[in-house]
Chain A
Amino acid sequence: MAGGASPVLLLVGLAVAGLALVPLGYVIATTAELGRQEAVDFLWRPRIGELLWNTVRLLVAGVAASTVLGVAGAWIVERTDVPGRGWWHGVLCAPLAVPAFVNGYGWVSTTHAVQSFPGAVMVVTLSYYPLVYLPTVAALRRLDPGVEEVATSLGRSGWGVFTRVTLPAVSPAVLGGALLVGLHLLAEYGALQLLNYPTLTTAILQQYATVFNGPEATLLALVLVTFCLLLLGIELLLRGRRRRARVGSGASGHPLRIQLGRLKLPVLAALTGVALWALAVPLGALVRWLLRGTSATVDVGELSAATATTLGLALAGGVTATVIAVPVVWLAVRHRGLLTTAIERSVYTASAMPGIVIALALVTVSIRVVPTLYQTVVVLLLGYAILFLPRAVVSVRSTFELVPPGLEDVARNLGCTGPAVARRVTLPLVLPGLTAATALVGLAVATELTATLLLAPLGTNTLATQFWSDASAIAYGAAAPYGLALVVLSIPSTWLLGSLSLRSGT
């Protein structure tokens, strides 16, 4: 079953899987506890219909718009002769460094027109299209241009090549990106709250503020989780079973670039437009409020306290998630088997759980089962760990797979015991990967808002929660320094993702 893994390691792996399954278990268990009639009465009413309609149309329009923008951007950067491609790649990745709730603040503090359905779609699209753009750029770069060249030589037009050859070839990447956008939209709280656009997630937060973790919030969470699982299912269906594998990797590298010709100026104008709307508006708003806000007398003490708390939590959260990821990956890579694969998969279920559901689950479980942990940093860190474990596992796994098991065998033959092999051979080799995983999770923790709002012990203020308490009270000036700090903190991971997406070709 588990390829000869030590029982201790297996137990640890199972414990991690159990932790990752807490949110799903909580939703199912508390829903089962509810009387059926009670649940139906709550869910079957106009308010829920309104929330569902808002959520669904935002989901459809936001995913569609992000996909179009992301794919178009990637195609322009990778397949046309647009001038300054490297620069535009940077610009198109950059909105990732502006957390969606900071973007929402930038827009709403500039114009009220965004407090509408089209406004909400626009703001979330500008925030989340890079999630489609990045994998699509990487896939385009990896794609053997020979295939496209053959289609061209067989007489397809540029558009024909794109729709019949290029797009199908990169569709898994596009779909994967679109799925991520969908999951983020379902989980989004801050931006939509500022845009006054109620969805399931904002309603859960309101329920929480009104009746704490009552059954109503759980029912809404159930609906939300159902949506996430539906999205996953749709993505699997769409991906289908079409064969994309080929023998030999082909030659990636220098594709024929389409001459834009007369279209060069309109394309450049469009790219500039995206840069202005996705970057200049929110950053401009931050700077403007910083300079003029009446409430902007920056309290340096509070700002630095929040920064210190944020960095501390980021480091601790990153280390926790990475440390928890190691046994899972170790089992999956070194002791492949049904059980270990199941453990690894269960970790991924959390990637479909919105932060709000994870937070609600931990609030309830900690109050009921381990009340001494409630309102402590421990619960917050567990929340971060569940939320970002999928990320940590992915990046830890990619480094573990590069360590040849032969090295470990040699060490064992030379008389090292199992734990000593891990300590003296494997860990030093994977340390850079672990550091990267810690950094990635840490940076995500640093800008996390929704789960932090529920799980941070009272009195623990992070940059995100401080920004939120000011921005949601229209103290735009007071929020500005925190918003700026959040952007600065997001730059490293954005830069890392941007450069990784280009490197994957070689």
Chain B
Amino acid sequence: MKLSRRSRRKRQFIWRSENRESHAWAAFLLPSFLGVTVFVLIPFLDVVRRSFVTAVTQEWSGINNYRNVFSNQAFRLAIHNTVRFTAVCLPLLIGLGLFLALWLSRLKQIQLIKSLFLFPLAMPAATVVLIWKMVFSRQGFLDGLLIGLGILPEGTLFDFMGTGASFWVLVFSYVWKNLGYTMVLWLAGIFAVPGDMCEAARVDGASEGQVFRKVIFPNLKSSLYTITVLSFLNSFKVFREAYLVAGSYPHEDMYLLQHLFNNWFVNLELDKMAAAAVCVGTVLFLIILLLQRLWKA
């Protein structure tokens, strides 16, 4: 069969452009990938190697480091607290954010409110710490407020940072910082739901609750994925506030994995650190894969 000259040229052109394209991506990606390889991937492989050897003499020690880590009291405490923190904070933040976003989506002038809620994002941890100390310390404002409301008896000085309540201070701090961001994410998802869909459901006699469950919520699934991932990412950053307010060894209820790694680093317990980093990294990796499966399926 004889192709006309024109279509042959066209075919050739497409082939050429695809060929050119197939090299271009590498040029765009290479600088970034090289950096990631040098600064993260290769050193992480070294950490994996180190997790199987002794810290000083670099002798093969099998799974000894792992055994040490798992029998370590501090490690267990830190894991427990970190899991507890994540389990409390993520649902709380995501739920509160959705609640506020639904509320806001009915109002008209929301620009100012959005900005007010986003503002904590702009406050560096270092500047907040001073305030947190004033609010939550033994002589702090929160005690004054609770006494004023009659919740605490007159004259008590309750130290929020030095008791089990410190965990909730941490939770509060996290929610305070991230609520605006989460809310704006939810709002975007809600506004992307076509308005006439909700309208139609309402006309058909659906209650507000039904509209939300049957119409709005199914459309928010992809938002939920992004929000969960980003909230998870931000949950590790609460260490900044925790560390700055309470130091390296805070009350045991807020001793997080981050504290532990930091202390191991300061004490140069590199073998334990390597083993723990491999464990935590693997667990996080599995969680991320699981999340992707759950939502992309």
A joins B in a complex: no
Interface residues of B (CB under 8 A from A): none
